[in-house]
Chains A and B, each alone.
Chain A
Amino acid sequence: MRSDSENLVRMNHLKFIGKILSVYAHDLNNQLGIIKEASGLMQDIVELNKSKDNRLKDELAKSIKSIHSRVGEAAFITSKLSAFGRGIGGDGHSLNINEIVGELLVLLKRMGDQRRIEFVSDFQANIATVNADPLMLRFLIFCLMEDQLMRLKSKGRLVFKTVRSGDVVSLTIFSEGEVAQSDEKRTFPDGMAQLIAETYGLSITLNGRDSRITLNL
């Protein structure tokens, strides 16, 4: 068991990592912006000036399109990394669960891709903000998501649904598709998720019938 001072140091280390991540993401985004404009200028030259060599023009246009597309993807992931870095270093006031889950789904998409599992978001629009430890909330959602992901066989879907009911904002994670692990022996999400929830006063419920995990905030 860690002491309070050890925990404080650990939290500050993680906030430091968050700062580094957000600065890195900002710098990378700047570079991508320059590459995008430079390749865009090449595209303009091809498209706005009529070239007689159509073959060369087509090849150039194809390469430029590919660069543009990849830069766009990289920039999108980078913007989520930036939000993640800034988020875990934040003060925890007014967290938007839709933004946090959306950010994690982009950053962790590769985990789903590797197992051929699609992430599906079903977010309630204009959902109320919540107060929670920003780092621990993200970590808890990650634990719950990983727990659900590991149960599923490939080609399944993992659905993330947010709902506001009265003063409670909830996130429910459930799977669609064939499960790899038997649900009969399942009693609760993994131990780390339970520990975080207990420590930070968050409520998690598991519906045994279809293994829906609901986090109430």
Chain B
Amino acid sequence: MKEGEKDRTSVLVVDNEIEFASTLAERLQMRGYDATAVYSAEDAFEAVKKSLPDIMLLDHVMPGTSGVEALTTMKTCFPNVFVFLLTGQVDIEKELEGIRLDNFSLILKPVDISALTVMIDRAKLEMTNKRKLQEP
């Protein structure tokens, strides 16, 4: 993906580990993404209502809510945001059984930045192509 296109990819990082979320957002900014960080599912919901990001990186386990709950709510309200669920659990698929999820993928923590940017770019491209197909 070209630098100019990257500039338009907005990424919202959601993790209660403030240092992790803010550093990851900073590293994504250094790579040309419009990345911001919030530190709770409630703040994520508010942020998405104000400005719809292309991509959301959502932590699996946060105080007060499970990432799966937050994911389900987010996907119901904002189905066009591509969500990556960040998890340290290798067996999380079992928790997601029975939940129908479009525009969604899992990422195992700790995150590899190179792999992450490839996945973000691919997700953005997938969303763009879907929108083009839906256009009259």
Residues of chain A lying within 8 A (CB to CB) of residue B104: none
Contact status A41-B109, CB under 8 Å? no
Size range of the interface on B? Answer: 20 to 34
Contact status B88-A99, CB under 8 Å? no
Known contacts A48-B30, A79-B108; A40 and B113 CB within 8 A of each other: yes
Contact status B30-A34, CB under 8 Å? no
Task: Report how many residues on chain A are interfacial, defined by Cβ distance under 8 Å.
Answer: 26
Contact status B89-A44, CB under 8 Å? no
Task: Quote the shortest CB–CB distance from A74 to chain B (angstroms).
Answer: 9
Number of A-B contacts (CB under 8 A): 66
B contacts with A: majority SS: mixed
Instruction: Name the segment of A6-14, A25-33, A161-169, A189-197 touching the other chain.
Output: A25-33
Residues of chain B lying within 8 A (CB to CB) of residue A175: none
Inter-chain pairs besides A79-B88, A86-B89, 7 sampled, C-beta below 8 Å:
A29-B88, A30-B88, A34-B23, A37-B23, A38-B23, A40-B113, A86-B91
Interface set, chain A 96-111, CB cutoff 8 A to B: 99
Q: Which of A72, A79, A83, A86 has the most CB of B within 10 A?
A: A79
Known contacts A30-B20, A34-B20, A38-B23; A83 and B91 CB within 8 A of each other: yes
B63 within 8 A of A: no
Docked pose: A38 CA to B26 CA in angstroms: 10
Task: Quote the shortest CB–CB distance from A97 to chain B (angstroms).
Answer: 14
B17 within 8 A of A: yes
Contact status A26-B61, CB under 8 Å? yes
**Per-residue interface assignment for chain B, residues 1 to 23, with 1 indicating a CB less than 8 Å from any chain A CB and 0 otherwise:** 00000000000000001011001
B27 within 8 A of A: yes
Known contacts A26-B61, A33-B110; A87 and B91 CB within 8 A of each other: yes
